[in-house]
Amino acid sequence: MTMLAERPTTTFPFPDGTTAPAPAEWRGLERDGVRLLVASPGGVRHSRFHDLAGHLSPGDLVVVNDSVTEARQLDADLIGRGRVVLHLAQRLDTGWVVEIRSAPDASRAVLDAAEGDVVVTAGLRVTLAEPYPGGRASSPTGLGNRLWRADVTGDVTAELERAGRPIAYGYLDRRYPLDAYQTVFGHRPGSAEMPSAARPFTHPLVTELVTHGIQVAPVTLHTGVSSQEAGEAPGAEWFEVSETTARLVEQTRYAGGRIVAAGTTVTRALESAVVPATGAVKAASGWTDRVITPANPPYVVNGLITGWHDPQASHLLLVEAVAGPELAQAAYDAAVAGDYLWHEFGDSALLLP
């Protein structure tokens, strides 16, 4: 595990009790009916996501992630220890990255497994090979390991189709179907967790954006597990930025429009496709370990649609890098005061520094 030297400066109380317990549709809303906090140098405004087009300008480009969420959570047994929850976090060229969490609701990481331990499901045998990445300890406490490179025996696809469910944690009021974890843009399977910033988009909203002269373009970034501890860097993830999207980004920048990333995953993908010598986005694909922070700021993203992150989460560094620390703090202060809902099914923010 890689620990970051930088820590977010944005501070706020842990949002206990303000986590969205269910998707918007299960709370009596349309997907795009969730709240939208708009923060800019002109101040903070409270809106709804379906009003997004009114907060952007003709000539802006909204970039979205087209990765599809897969059912990567399985009930399992850690041999000699009992029931656990297994997360298949990343498919590697050889083996998988896995995470073992407590049963039945994955509420905490199991940190005291060891090399050679075996996790079994009805159709898979998973042998822990070494801590991930690179054999380094993967617990931020220094005791134990959270992520493992594992050798997997069995038909993973068949097992996930038979018994897999979306990765979820204990703060939801119940389990929800895989469809609840998809966005309207998803068509390339590969994510362990939902690229949630784009979840509130609907087809009518996309049509409205285009009608207002706001373009929408896709990138791909297949997410890993997001349960990083405080100070833990996000792991390497596979991404692709197409020639078409790279060209649209450059045309938008040249014309003076804003590049508004729908989420931290999109920001990471776009910034991983930048040629540092020129600052231009070029078509690119592969694994990225790019971490965007105030000390390593973005080249091209200058607007961000995002959900609400936990205190000290590494994603807050990306938020501060795009929005600036003062605007990020103002947004979080207003969200806490306004009882916005946190996590993947919660409310949204549009940050326009």
Q: Which of 72-81, 139-148, 215-224, 271-280 has the lowest mean pLDDT?
A: 139-148
pLDDT (tens digit per residue) in 167-219: 998 889 999 999 999 999 999 999 999 999 999 999 999 999 999 999 999 99
pTM of the shown model: 0.93
Higher pLDDT among residues 65 and 147, named by residue: 65
In the chain, the amino acid numbered 208 is E
Sign of CA dihedral 282, 286, 289, 291: positive
How many C-beta neighbours within 10 Å does residue 141 have? Answer: 9
pLDDT of residue 176: 96
The pLDDT of 13-31, averaged and rounded, is 90
Residue-level pLDDT at 350: 98
Residue 321's pLDDT is 97
Provide the mean pLDDT of the chain. 93
Residues 310-349: tens digit of each pLDDT: 888 888 999 999 999 999 999 999 999 999 999 999 999 9
Number of Cβ atoms within 10 Å of the Cβ of 79 = 11
At 261, list the tokens: 């990333």
Mean pLDDT of 286-293: 93
Mean pLDDT of 266-295: 96
* DSSP structural state of residue 109: B
Predicted confidence (pLDDT) at residue 228 exceeds the cutoff of 60: no
pLDDT digits (tens, 9 = 90+) for 95-152: 999 999 999 988 888 988 999 999 999 999 999 999 887 756 656 555 678 889 999 9
Distances (CA, A) of 183 to 101, 178, 200, 349: 26, 11, 8, 17
Q: Tell me if 264 sits within 8 A of 315, measured CB to CB.
A: yes
Q: Cα(296)–Cα(118) distance, rounded to whole angstroms?
A: 39
Q: What is the CA radius of gyration of the chain?
A: 20
Percent of the chain at pLDDT exceeding 90: 80
Alpha helices in 128-230 (DSSP H): 156-163, 203-211
- The pLDDT of 62-75, averaged and rounded, is 98
Per-residue confidence (pLDDT) for residue 7, from 0 to 100: 86
Give the pLDDT band (50/70/90) at residue 36.
very high
Q: Which residue has the higher pLDDT, 140 or 43?
A: 43
pLDDT at 170: 81
Q: What is the pLDDT of residues 236-248, one digit of tens each?
A: 899 999 999 999 9
Q: Residue 235 has what pLDDT? A: 80
Alpha helices, H only, the chain: 156-163, 203-211, 243-255, 264-272, 314-323, 325-337
pLDDT at 165 over 60: yes
Structural domains of the chain ordered from first start:
24-69+175-351 (3.40.1780.10), 73-163 (no CATH)
Measured distance CA(90)–CA(239) in Å, rounded: 13
